Structure 1
């Protein structure tokens, strides 16, 4: 046991050295050469198809994919496997049909964040600052909720792997994330995501081979049916909704997830001008399909270990029980990579919303590049520590639900100003009404009703869209739209 533990620590420290080196390299090549905040905020618009695709997929399939999703599959059955797969075509559609538009429009307006994009698209002067500030505050609040779940997931896994307390594991992991994100901003995030994704893909292949070599797919289905027919032929789509077909709503949800959420959509702003997005999707599609198989761990564990105390322990228990320690250690590292890939994106986005968007909304005067960079970096440290404190003092929660609460509600908040505006552009009053309406509807339905994990956010998206159009039309005379860029 002692030899295995030392091996795990050696693997972890070697990976830390690689991540920190990538952060240092990205600082040298991008942040140090940038004349404004774009180097830190959007990688100086330097991402190519492979790195861009890798960071998109790694961020989308992460802590919830490797820890939360197997737990949901353990609890609710095969519905989660279908729901998880919906993210692959959704990401392809988002990159293929929306990324070029968003990247081009943002570059033309000089926008470096999603709240700034929404503000400059809908208003000028004081109203633009209001839109940017409101979008920034909501982004900070909701993504801190999601960041808390990611830090907890990292802590749970690291604690079991390294044999020390969960809180220590979370503190160690967030410290490394803070360090390389401070060094290189979004460039460091994207480069480390690419390294992490390669490990994640290999981990998914190893897991699939082990599970299906032990129990072939047809036999797995039959044994699940013996436990409970609802695990393979459910009458509802819980936890996504009560209707049997509600799981298919994950497709539009996942598309909007990829196209609208600031920590995902900011990657579109970071692509090199002239990037061929068709080539990018050639990487996105196979990467996402391979990672979509991960929830099968939850189904396998439901057959092998039906009495787990907590469903979220499905993946850790699987690694400790059914894999050789060497493979288990490697896959644990890859899963830690997966969770870090989203945690670093969330941390970078929250810090950017505070240090760039909120700062510009409250203090519109010009700030020199060096001072702005220092503020950006300080915000990463501050919000990394805030996320850790929130995790330490939060009551028990279901990892996947907290992720849905943060991302689903933020999606409903921004769908009008970010996505609907690409089809029909309203004004600042419409954008503000859409944000408040989407926020209240999705958050209220997720917290206070049993409507389902995608029904609430999608209903919020509908409310946000209606308010965006209706309020923009009603206030058109007092708030004319900004001239198109």
Structure 2
């Protein structure tokens, strides 16, 4: 889920000690919300009997639950703030530069679902072990995915803690621990059962309340035509498809590739696809989820334009674009409407963090611990390892989020480049070309991992996006490696680990 620079705000606010007056109404709503999701977690604990329940809902996830769980997981609190802030600072061009890529990413995933389900595995490293024929691919890929999920946890906690602090007035260092404790607790209790049911509540509330907020702003500002006219009058770049140099055609293409790669190679995406009860359900939940998300993001972009016009008319300009939406809530809209928006934001806070935390637990137990114990560990012990690692990674992420580094957004970009460069091409190609050399696939992963993030660290020389460099080297490794090893393989070794 793209966070769009919103986390760059956190270090500045924390260093300046910025907190607002305590708002008892917003604080009360926040507390009630936390109690609700904890209650769902306690209920899910009683439904979680096996490690299969904890990991993949016993592979019984239905279309309605799967759809809203996917929607809630896809949209985070940080992305809500970030998209509105991006529109405030750069106009509607984000619709072309970012959201277009996101929706094409979801659409592309639809066409590979059947291939993922045919492999009948649990996690993404399982798939890589299958297509390479080497079990060692599981921990190698697992460590990459674990680092990605953990960085994402930190980013979500910082964004969520900052947002709730601004709205409720509770000091950040306390709020981030409260949020961390709650999402750790209910994720540990029920695994994917907790995550899916809380996401159902969160996803529904999130979409509905953003719609309500947009309707209020449209009526308040005289209609969509009036909003867009005022928005264009502020700057013609606000309504230009690519802004004033904000995006280039090459950059948009890189965005599409990067977001598809990130979506396709996310552990939580693969886990959800494998948790559905059949291929039809897996396809339906992606198609329906993609449609809901497309409408939701359009509403969010329009809300960003309305926010910009409203703040401009009220003389409430902000020095950091990421404060635009919090200022709209606290300074512009009535308390009742602010309450509605708070519900949407709170829905996004936990719906994304719980998914990443659940992925950490699954990856640690299934792809790393299970490998080093030769796949002979009992399901009961694997579930215990999942819960312990979930607690450990959650506490560690929360502790770092209390005093976050100032370069978190660069880490977000790094993780997107890493996943796409390392995994997109070798895995996607070999899902359809099973005769590809296993060694070539591993070489492709290694080259993509090295050159994608490495090129980004060098500042993307020659104007070549790091995603293109990483994917290009990944392709080169796959082709060259296959030419070298295809005649030397004999019989490809087959994975021995069984699915739980």
Q: In the superposition, relative to structure 1, how do residues 199 and 455 fare at CA in structure 2: closer, same or farther (>3 Å)?
A: farther
Q: In the superposition, relative to structure 1, how do residues 83 and 187 fare at CA in structure 2: closer, same or farther (>3 Å)?
A: farther
Q: In the superposition, relative to structure 1, how do residues 382 and 478 fare at CA in structure 2: closer, same or farther (>3 Å)?
A: farther
Give how far 1:441 is off: 3.0
Q: In the superposition, relative to structure 1, how do residues 144 and 92 fare at CA in structure 2: closer, same or farther (>3 Å)?
A: closer
For residue 430 of structure 2, what is the aligned residue in structure 1?
421
Match of 2:486 among 450, 473, 476: 476
Whether 1:26 aligns to 2:44 is yes
Across the two proteins, how many residue pairs are aligned to each other?
469
TM-score, with structure 2 as normaliser: 0.84
Match of 1:56 among 70, 85, 101: 70
For residue 198 of structure 1, what is the aligned residue in structure 2?
204
TM-score, with structure 1 as normaliser: 0.87
User: Equivalents in 2 of 1:81, 1:301: separation in Å?
Assistant: 16
For residue 7 of structure 1, what is the aligned residue in structure 2?
25
Match of 1:247 among 243, 252, 263: 252
Answer yes or no: is the 8 Å Cα contact 2:45–2:194 preserved in 1: yes
Residue ranges of structure 1 left out of the alignment (5+ in a row): none
For residue 3 of structure 2, what is the aligned residue in structure 1?
none
User: Equivalents in 2 of 1:17, 1:296: separation in Å?
Assistant: 32
Match of 1:168 among 164, 168, 174: 174
Using the TM superposition, name which of 379-388 and 445-454 deviates more.
445-454
For residue 418 of structure 2, what is the aligned residue in structure 1?
409
For residue 9 of structure 2, what is the aligned residue in structure 1?
none
User: Equivalents in 2 of 1:338, 1:188: separation in Å?
Assistant: 15
Whether 1:273 aligns to 2:291 is no
For residue 35 of structure 2, what is the aligned residue in structure 1?
17
Whether 1:47 aligns to 2:65 is no
Whether 1:370 aligns to 2:383 is no
Answer yes or no: is the 8 Å Cα contact 1:261–1:414 preserved in 2: no
Match of 2:135 among 104, 109, 128: 128
User: Equivalents in 2 of 1:484, 1:133: separation in Å?
Assistant: 13
Give how far 1:282 is off: 5.3
Give how far 1:98 is off: 1.7
Using the TM superposition, name which of 135-144 and 216-225 deviates more.
216-225
Q: In the superposition, relative to structure 1, how do residues 308 and 382 fare at CA in structure 2: closer, same or farther (>3 Å)?
A: same
Alignment of 1:451-462 (within 5 A): 455-462=465-472
Q: Residue 78 of structure 1: SS of its match in structure 2?
A: helix
User: Equivalents in 2 of 1:456, 1:60: separation in Å?
Assistant: 24
1:424-448, Cα deviation, whole Å (9 max, x unpaired): 2334322322222222333234444
Q: In the superposition, relative to structure 1, how do residues 389 and 143 fare at CA in structure 2: closer, same or farther (>3 Å)?
A: same
Whether 1:396 aligns to 2:392 is no
Answer yes or no: is the 8 Å Cα contact 1:86–1:254 preserved in 2: no
User: Equivalents in 2 of 1:453, 1:324: separation in Å?
Assistant: 47
1:386-415, Cα deviation, whole Å (9 max, x unpaired): 11122233322475x543332342232221
User: Equivalents in 1 of 2:258, 2:182: separation in Å?
Assistant: 32
Give how far 1:147 is off: 1.8
Answer yes or no: is the 8 Å Cα contact 1:236–1:245 preserved in 2: no
Give how far 1:80 is off: 1.0
Whether 1:310 aligns to 2:320 is yes
Q: In the superposition, relative to structure 1, how do residues 372 and 385 fare at CA in structure 2: closer, same or farther (>3 Å)?
A: same
Q: Residue 128 of structure 1: SS of its match in structure 2?
A: coil
Q: In the superposition, relative to structure 1, how do residues 467 and 136 fare at CA in structure 2: closer, same or farther (>3 Å)?
A: same
For residue 298 of structure 1, what is the aligned residue in structure 2?
304
User: Equivalents in 2 of 1:226, 1:199: separation in Å?
Assistant: 34
Residue ranges of structure 2 left out of the alignment (5+ in a row): 1-19
User: Equivalents in 2 of 1:398, 1:218: separation in Å?
Assistant: 37
Give how far 1:65 is off: 2.7
Q: In the superposition, relative to structure 1, how do residues 354 and 221 fare at CA in structure 2: closer, same or farther (>3 Å)?
A: same
Whether 1:289 aligns to 2:294 is yes
Give how far 1:188 is off: 1.3
Answer yes or no: is the 8 Å Cα contact 2:104–2:256 preserved in 1: yes
1:14-37, Cα deviation, whole Å (9 max, x unpaired): 2223212222232322x21x2xx3
Give how far 1:201 is off: 0.7
Q: Residue 364 of structure 1: SS of its match in structure 2?
A: coil
User: Equivalents in 2 of 1:301, 1:249: separation in Å?
Assistant: 29
Q: Residue 295 of structure 1: SS of its match in structure 2?
A: helix
User: Equivalents in 2 of 1:453, 1:267: separation in Å?
Assistant: 37
